[in-house]
Structure 1
Amino acid sequence: MGWFPAPSGVHVTPRLPTALVAATALALALPATAAAQPTTPRIHDVQGSTRLSPLAGQVVAGVPGVVTAVRAFGSARGFWFADPEPDADAATSEGLFVFTGATTPDVAVGDAVQVGGTVAEFRPTASGETPETTPNQSITQLTGATWTVTAQGRPLPPAEVLAPGTVPATYATAGTDEDAPLDPAASALDFYESREGMVLRVQDARVVGRTDEFDGLWVTTEPDRNPTARGGTLYASYDDPNGGRLKVESLVPRAEQPFPVADVGDRLAGTTEGPLDYTRFGGYVLQATTLGEHVPGGLTRETAAPAAPGQLSVGTYNVENLFAGDDPAEFARLATGVVTNMAAPDVIALEEIQDNSGPADDGIVAADATLRRFVEAIVAAGGPRYDFRLVDPEDQADGGQPGGNIRVAFLFDPARVAFVDRPGATPTTAVRAVPAAGGAALSISPGRVAPTDPAWDASRKPLAGEFSVAGHTVFVIANHFASKGGDQPLHSRTQPPLRSSEEQRGRQAAVLRGFVDELLAVDPRAEVVVLGDLNDYAFSPSVQTLTAGGALRALIDTLPPEERYGYVFDGNSQALDHVLVSPAVTDPGYDVVHINAEFADQASDHDPQVVRFVPGAGAR
């Protein structure tokens, strides 16, 4: 979103007639006492050479500049102005935002102004945060402002062009000291902070993050840095968050210029420019006064290969809080994804299946109506009549949207695979690996993996199911690990950012790996498929725990690097969903089916995945 709320306790001066503004500014400049006399700095003096203004809390007057942009909508209106006579210090910004609250400022682009007000550091916060506890950086601005327009139609200071190589390859330097001197040549975050409020320009920018619901998209200023095969930017390491990513919003009202509805790989041809802002929704944001022409890149939705004769196909799909009361069109779109794009896998692990009443907090935990509606939608889309298995959670025990009771569940095609049912499952009963004739079996099927272990507190429990395919046993374990909620963003004022949620996923991975080890201890030739939304990257400690020693291998690593993603966040294409298989699963065919994450129009925010293999081919 292109706005932020008024900081608590800030008095916003209503818009005044120009003459009164000038008189007020003059009165502000006249010292009633020596102690009350405001300083008369230039913009670079206000911004300073660190993240925080050296004049924060002080009253200033007569700060000169030229208006470069106006925000005339929302609750955080105001204008940016820039100094046409910059200093020689690359660490000091020459642009500054003047905050006027809900009042549209009576200025126009090109006005020469002298501005007075209080220098403030505004730090945007999320729910439950305070300016002291939020990881977000701050915006230097003038509040309670008054100004004098001294001339009109002045030329604007030239925009700085962000060409390849302009933004440093290093994203951030370690530390938490906001008073440390900025080094814009050393890191991307220092570079952007040193340009806060200044007009920046990108030319022929490639879109790397689709248009969201709030009219924002992401472009890259480094098109050759970690490109994906379909036009995005790959997030492949904690050490390289891709500093060339930049969010773009618009200061032009929709009625004058609708915001482009763009997919990954599209372009904003020509010039996109505007002042550099900062919000908690992505960090540094280009507030465009000029938007390049939207040029579609022709991105198409992918289709997985169907299972070959003798193969079993197993898929995973996060269906994003699906419940029985959702719009039929939502069910139809997801069903088309299953039938057409995933090629109707024999077994599907579903994540984010909500109870029958969805977000209503009414004590209902059953999800049979949700799954029946989904099955009927799949049939209507030309797919098989799936059966389903699940274990309902305890009310409010598994996290997710309050009242929704999300859980994982299995769909399976009974014409191609048999589910081995063993009774005894409850929300708190743990499934065990037990010996069976010729191999291993599950003590209960379906059954939850260690559901009372603290690793799963307020999180979804894995669901293990035993399937029989042409006389061969295949174990499938559906997962939805703890979310990344609470982690600090990449643009955090603390570097490297703290990933607090990683600790719980690490414990979850250890518990899940322990269960897989139990299965393989009973039968080292067991065919095990572990899949779902692990909410973590292939290079993360949790996934590394699962793959350590070769007990499981992550199939995302078998793809070319430019294809290792199925989710896009803040312009970074990344892998959160995974399929992992035991050594007995040989020659698997594997697809990440790109149908959602890169598109402005999407049925879910995750792309599904499918693996195909011949049961028994490597097990005996």
Structure 2
Amino acid sequence: MLRTVSSFAVVVSLLLSTPSLQVTAHGFPSQYTPARPIHIEHVQLSGSLLLPRPKRPTRPTPRSCSQAPVETGDRRENKDELTVGNFNAEWLFINGGTGGLVCPGRSCPWKNKNMALEHFSRVAKTIAAMGLPDIVHLSEVESCDALDKLIEVLEAENAATKGAYRAYLVPGRDTALGQQVGLITKVDPIIDVVRTDERVLYPIKGSLCGFTKPGSPPQMYGSTKNYFARFQVNEIPILLSGNHFIAYPDKRDRCEKREAQASVIANAIQRHLLTQSHDEVIVLGDFNDYDDEVVDAAGELDHPISKALSTLRTATNPPLFNIANLWENQTERYTNWYDRNRDCKDDGGNEHVLIDHVLVSRGLRDRIVESYPLHNYKQYCGTLDSDHWPIFTRFDVRKDRGI
């Protein structure tokens, strides 16, 4: 924000260009041209010079590793099953970041490269504890290089088969934090991994947030961190949507934006199914919100104020199924530590919240063999583990499995 100075005038020139999107046959936009940055000019009228804020160091533009191979491979050890992990790895950064914040460094929990490398080892160990799933969605990733580094650690320290995992990531639009979403997978996508830059008006119709006053003009919002990958697993075509939504499930201004993000993803899925109606669907990630159909470990305290999850569920007909419904023990229904009393100790109970989710279509729901959240470490301030826990799911994908 610029302060008002009586002896100076500030001329602000917003040089914005909207990205040009081309829609593919699958209903998703092709690669985009990044928007030009906002340019601010300061003009002296009298007296001394009005100095602009010092410019932030130029951050590197993250590269894309989204292209599907010409010949797709399937490196699963057991072709009768598909295992999927969903994990917010928390600042999986190694080279300083590509956004406004620097990580490793003072901007994130890992203050130096040694801490960041130890964090990579912890994340890899947790992925190995899930049995090295065939597909792993990861939130809060720095870049393709970070995913490659994670694969390197999995191979060197956790007995992952060399060359089994490949990394896929489409750079998003989180210019503030520089966080991305991506995946490592033993099953290659059959088309290039893509993202959507659609923006929608919010509050959305039927919004539950109650933040914007009636009569106020609507605004536009979209999802900065998302991707869509399409797989052929045995005889089953699968559309996988990976996401990371805006934080703070209890803040009503964020609530409206999260509902808009959910609408964007639901719209993209519906467009895809118009031409690929036989695809099964997996929607997963860190949604930073609760599901009104799943009571988590904190109980009714975590009832959602938004309709983000319900919007995602009803993207398909019949609706998507939240696999957390299968976790019988309510005290185990959590994926994140929320230190409500700020004592830096994991007190359990209402500090255990479920904001990471895996939603699946009917055909995959009937193929679920097992699913669980993996709670293999304790939380505390200063830990080098993630502040989230992952979700693991195993599907029976045999051709003769009845649906």
- Contact 1:324–1:370 at 8 Å: present in 2 too? yes
Q: Measure, in 1, the Cα distance between the counterparts of 2:231 and 2:351.
A: 36
Change (3 A) 1:607 1:484: same
Q: Does 1:581 align with 2:360?
A: yes
1:567 aligns with 2:333: no
- What are the Cα deviations for residues 326-350 of structure 1, in whole angstroms up to 9, with x where unaligned? 43211111111111x2210101111
Q: Is 1:467–1:474's contact at 8 Å kept on the other side of the alignment? A: yes
* CA pair 556-472 structure 1, distance change in 2 beyond 3 A: same
Task: Tell me which protein shows more helix as a share of its residues.
Answer: 2
Q: Which amino acid is the alignment partner of residue 321 of structure 2?
A: R
Structure richer in strand, relative to its length: 1
TM-fit CA distance, 1:553: 0.9
Show the 5 A alignment for 1:397-436.
397-398=173-174, 401=177, 405-413=178-186, 417-421=187-191
Counterparts in 2 of 1:433-448, with a 5 A limit? 445-448=192-195
Q: What does residue 310 of structure 2 align with?
A: 544
Supply the distance in 1 between the matched residues of 2:168 and 2:242 (Cα, whole angstroms). Answer: 11
Q: Within 5 Å, give how 1:113-124 maps onto structure 2.
A: none
TM-score, with structure 1 as normaliser: 0.39
1:591 aligns to 2:372 (yes or no): yes
Q: Measured at CA, do residues 329 and 387 of structure 1 come closer, stay the same or move farther in structure 2, by a change above 3 Å?
A: same
Aligned length: 259
Residue segments in structure 1 that go unaligned for 5+ positions in a row: 1-305, 355-366, 422-444, 489-498
Counterpart pick for 2:253 among 500, 507, 512: 500
Structure having greater relative contact order (Cα 8 Å, sep ≥ 6): 2
Q: Report how far residue 481 of structure 1 moved.
A: 0.7
* Matched AA of 1:583: R
Return the index of the structure with the highest Cα Rg. Answer: 1
Aligned structure 1 segments of 4 or more residues deviating by more than 3 angstroms: 306-309, 450-459, 519-525, 596-602, 615-620
- Please name the residue that 1:614 is paired with: 396
The residue aligned with 2:127 is 338
Sequence identity, in percent? 26
Closer, same or farther: CA 450–336 of 1 in aligned 2, 3 Å: same
Question: What code does the residue aligned with 2:152 have?
Answer: E
Return the TM-score normalized by structure 2.
0.58
* Alignment root-mean-square deviation, CA: 2.7
In 2, Cα distance between equivalents of 1:617 and 1:513: 31
Alignment of 1:50-449 (within 5 A): 310-325=80-95, 326-327=113-114, 328-339=117-128, 341-354=129-142, 367-380=143-156, 381-384=158-161, 385=163, 386-393=165-172, 397-398=173-174, 401=177, 405-413=178-186, 417-421=187-191, 445-449=192-196
- Distance in 2, matches of 1:596 and 1:544, equals 31
Aligned to 2:386: 604
Query: Residues of 1 paired with 2:229 and 2:402: CA distance?
Result: 18
For residues 168-219 of structure 1, the C-alpha deviation after alignment (integer angstroms, 9 at most, x for no partner) is xxxxxxxxxxxxxxxxxxxxxxxxxxxxxxxxxxxxxxxxxxxxxxxxxxxx
| Contact 2:200–2:263 under 8 Å retained in 1 | no
Post-superposition CA distance 1:263-300 (Å, at most 9, x none): xxxxxxxxxxxxxxxxxxxxxxxxxxxxxxxxxxxxxx
Which letter does structure 2 place at the counterpart of 1:610?
Answer: F
Unaligned runs of 5+ in 2: 1-75, 96-112, 203-219, 293-303, 341-349
**In the alignment, which residue of structure 2 is the partner of 1:476?**
240
SS at match of 1:595: coil
Distance in 1 of aligned mates of 2:180 and 2:367: 30
Deviation digits for residues 553-611 of structure 1 (CA, Å, limit 9, x no counterpart): 11112212232211121152110100000111123121111134646645100001111
Per the alignment, do residues 484 and 368 of structure 1 end up closer, same or farther by CA in structure 2, a change over 3 Å counting? same
**CA displacement at 1:318 relative to structure 2:** 0.9
Deviations 1:462-487 (CA, angstroms, capped at 9, x unpaired): 200012222432221110011128x5
